[in-house]
Chains A and B, each alone.
Chain A
Amino acid sequence: MNILVCISNVPDTTTRIKYSADMKEVDYSGVQWIINPWDELALTRAIELKEANPALVQKITVITAGRADVEATLRKALACGADDAIRVDAASGDSLYTASQLANAVKGDAYDVILCGIESSDYNNSAVGGMMAELLDYNSVSAVSSLNLDGNTIKVTREIDGGKQNIEVAGPVVLIVQKGIAINPRIPSMRGIMTARTKPLKVVPATDVIPASRVVSYEAPPAKSACKMIAPDHIEELVNLLHNEARVI
């Protein structure tokens, strides 16, 4: 079984997002880049499965679309335990553009399971996984919070309203995973960091895809309103404000 994990390179979640003066672009200067947290959990689960079933899971490949500066993120994924990496040499685009670039790069390759994080922490489109499944003509399951292998049977659990749904699905399949798929993201070991140097990182050219949408402009959220301090013994006033003004209780 071969597993492909789609990685999105996103700003560190503590980054204060800034925009260009004309509000037409995000200003990425000084940004620390990380693996999208959901993708990192997906990668962690893939590695756990390979470690637990070495005879069954042959290879974990990570893929991203981006310019050369995203390779540091891919090498971190290799250091964590992925076997090889693919970078599609494409600029960023909308979800369909990204999904098409990724799908075109792996079309014809024999992946049994493709893991995508449920969304990226920057643009929150929640669309690439489903689109990839469609483009590759794979099955897909969304909102997956648990993944296990029983031989070649793929067993997943989905979060649903009021509970969980346990299902089995035939590969090849795109699993769109969320929190719970792994507990803590894998921290790369020294050995992993060292061996990442020699693991293959293939760069493939972008394919000719026309994005379905274009960004017109960005808007910053309204500034936070001033904090109201309530004296500790004025409980009624606090309850009143929470109920009538903030409307949270």
Chain B
Amino acid sequence: MNFEFTEEQLMIQQAARDYAQRELIQDVIERDTHAIYPEKHVKALAELGFMGMLVDPEYDGGGMDTVSYVLAMEEISKVDASVSVIMSVNNSLVCYGLDKFGSKEQKEKYLKPLARGEKIGAFLLSEPEAGSDATSQRTTAEDKGDYYLLNGTKNWITNGNTAGTYLVIAQTHPEKGHKGINVLIVDRNSPGISVGPHEDKMGMRSSDTHSVMFNDVKVPKENRIGEDGFGFKFAMMTLEGGRIGIASQALGLASGAFERAVKYAKERKAFGTEIANHQAIAFKLADMAVKIENARNLCLKAAWLKDQGKPYGYASAMAKYYAAEIAMEVTTEAVQIHGGYGYVKEYHVERLMREAKLTQIYEGTSEIQQIVISRQVLKDF
């Protein structure tokens, strides 16, 4: 067993840290306050290669491993989870799905601009009445011979308005249940697509979340990924990897808040000494450190399994579940350690706490992760 990172992995971690601490930090509060999409940062991160870092270099990606991706996601998320969710959706849902399951033609046409970050992708699974229960898709992709006719509404879509390419999960054969579901690559500019208003969220406020409506949208047959009926399997397999991205995001929210809490505790004085010298605070920091270390190890193990080509669904569910839960706990404690200062925007930790909440909800709620984990536990033991 080797817990050492390679020189390249450390270089990627440092590059992400440098960008986050030097650039993202500058306007993160303003973007959060006014829900401003981080366009210049997405462009800059794309130029550095972070938007397609896992994609095969043959398709203009960075060709990096998932361990590097965890390290980069943690560093970006320490400062701005709105930016890291854009990075996560593009990398581990859209690019990964296309890279792994798309045809050569689909990769040439759609994956390359996504991997270069010239276009951003969105993954359209959730519906007004189908979130965790992804089998109940009401969006339909009617087979019309040489094209599909797409109708329905998708909800809570990250990059919903800014994406150039959508991966849409829709039902083609309702009688077959989840085996009738397909996944289609849809150009954002196709006639019949309309985008709902920007969701005014509690956290991740500068990420671009919308509902997307499809009204008789024609999608060429060649834009279906995989065989007829592959859509549900595609979604589940892609989300397995996506969980690593969100787990790493949760990890970054926790470690970002923790770093700020440690710094503050060493500076702030009460009762004649720095508050870090009070056991009430020191023990909080110890608990936070242990939780973060556990979450990091779970994330890295899931990433390592994925890089080794081994099954990682169980590990990624554990990572996502645990990291999201401790992100909520650690960010809340970071606010507590900051006292009144933690409750104002200038000290950042209140924002990290608001953002942490979403990691327990999206890309599979904590309860869905518990289902995945418990099913495996009951099968294995």
Binary interface profile of A, 188-204, with partner B (CB < 8 Å = 1, else 0)?
11110110110000000
Contact B57 A194 (CB under 8 A): yes
- Kindly state whether residue A72 has any CB partner on chain B within 8 Å: yes
Q: Judging by beta carbons under 8 Å apart, are A190 and B19 in contact?
A: no
Q: Are B57 and A75 in contact (CB under 8 A)?
A: no
Would you call B47 an interface residue if the criterion is a C-beta within 8 Å of the partner chain's C-beta atoms? yes
**A59 contact set on B, CB distance < 8 A:** none
Pick from B15, B18, B47: contact of A193, CB under 8 Å: B15
Tell me which residues across on chain A come within 8 A of B262, comparing CB atoms.
Answer: none
B11 within 8 A of A: yes
A 49-91 binary contact with B (CB < 8 Å = 1; else 0): 0000000000000000000000010011001000000000000
**A188 proximity list for chain B (CB < 8 A):** 11, 15, 48
| B49 contacts A187, C-beta separation under 8 Å | no
Chain B 1-35 per-residue mask, 1 if CB under 8 angstroms from chain A, else 0: 00000011011101100110010000000000000
With A72-B7, A194-B57, A194-B63 as known contacts, state yes or no: A189 contacts B12, CB within 8 Å: no
Any chain A CB within 8 A of the CB of B53?
yes
Q: What residues make up the interface of B, taking CB atoms closer than 8 Å to A? A: 7-8, 10-12, 14-15, 18-19, 22, 47-50, 53, 57, 61-64
- In the bound complex, residues from chain A placing their C-beta under 8 Å from that of B48 are 187-190
In Å, the complex CA distance between A72 and B19 comes to 20
Query: Which residues from chain B contact A197 at a C-beta distance below 8 Å?
Result: 8
- Which of B8, B49, B57 is in CB contact (< 8 Å) with A189? B49
Give A193 to B7 CA distance when docked, in angstroms: 10
Q: Is residue A165 within 8 Å, beta carbon to beta carbon, of the partner chain?
A: no
Known A72-B7, A79-B11; contact A190-B18, beta-carbon cutoff 8 A: no
Assess the A191–B62 pair: CB atoms within 8 A.
Answer: yes
Are A190 and B22 neighbours in the complex by a CB distance under 8 Å? no
- A184 at the A/B interface (Cβ < 8 Å)? yes
17 additional A-B pairs beyond A190-B50, A193-B8, A194-B62, beta carbons within 8 Å, are A76-B14, A79-B11, A187-B19, A187-B48, A190-B12, A190-B48, A190-B49, A190-B62, A190-B64, A191-B49, A193-B11, A193-B12, A193-B15, A194-B8, A194-B57, A194-B64, A197-B8
Bound-complex Cα distance A166 to B12 (A): 38
Contacts of B50 in A (CB 8 A): 190
A10 CB to closest chain B CB (Å) equals 15
Q: Once the chains are docked, how many angstroms separate the CA of A115 from the CA of B234?
A: 53
Complex Cα gap A75–B50 (Å): 19
* Interface residues contributed by chain A, number (CB under 8 Å): 15
- Give the distance in Å from the alpha carbon of A139 to the alpha carbon of B47 in the complex: 37
With the chains together, A193 CA to B12 CA distance in Å?
8
Chain A nearest CB, measured from B65 CB (Å): 11
A186 to chain B, nearest CB (A): 10
State the 8 A-B residue pairs at the shortest beta-carbon distance, nearest first: A190-B49, A190-B62, A189-B48, A189-B49, A187-B15, A187-B18, A72-B7, A193-B11
**9 A-B interface contacts by CB (under 8 A):** A72-B7, A185-B18, A187-B18, A190-B64, A191-B49, A191-B62, A193-B15, A193-B62, A193-B64
In the bound assembly, the distance between CA atoms of A34 and B64 in angstroms comes to 22
- Chain A residues with Cβ below 8 Å from B11 are 75-76, 79, 188, 193, 196
Expressed in whole angstroms, the Cα–Cα distance for A187 and B18 within the complex equals 7
A210 to B61, CA, bound (A): 49
A196–B61 alpha-carbon span in the complex (Å): 16
State the Cβ distance, B281 to closest chain A Cβ, in Å.
Answer: 20
**Which B residues lie within 8 Å of A191 (CB)?**
49, 62
B53–A190 contact, CB under 8 A?
A: yes
Q: Which of A190, A191, A194 has the most CB of B within 10 A?
A: A190
Chain A residues near B61 (CB, 8 Å)? 190
Complex CA–CA separation, A76 to B49 (angstroms): 16
B residues near A189, Cβ cutoff 8 Å? 15, 47-49
Q: Which B residue sits closest to A227, measured CB to CB? A: B269
How many angstroms from the CA of A75 to the CA of B8 in the assembled complex? 9
* Complex interface: chain A residues within 8 A of B49 (CB): 189-191
A223 vs chain B, min Cβ distance (A): 16
Cα(A187)–Cα(B10), bound, Å: 13
Closest to B12 in A: A193
The closest CB in chain A to the CB of B51 belongs to A190
Q: Does the CB pair B22–A184 fall under 8 Å?
A: yes
- For the complex, give the distance between the alpha carbons of A189 and B52 in Å: 11
A contact residues around B8 at 8 Å (CB)? 193-194, 197
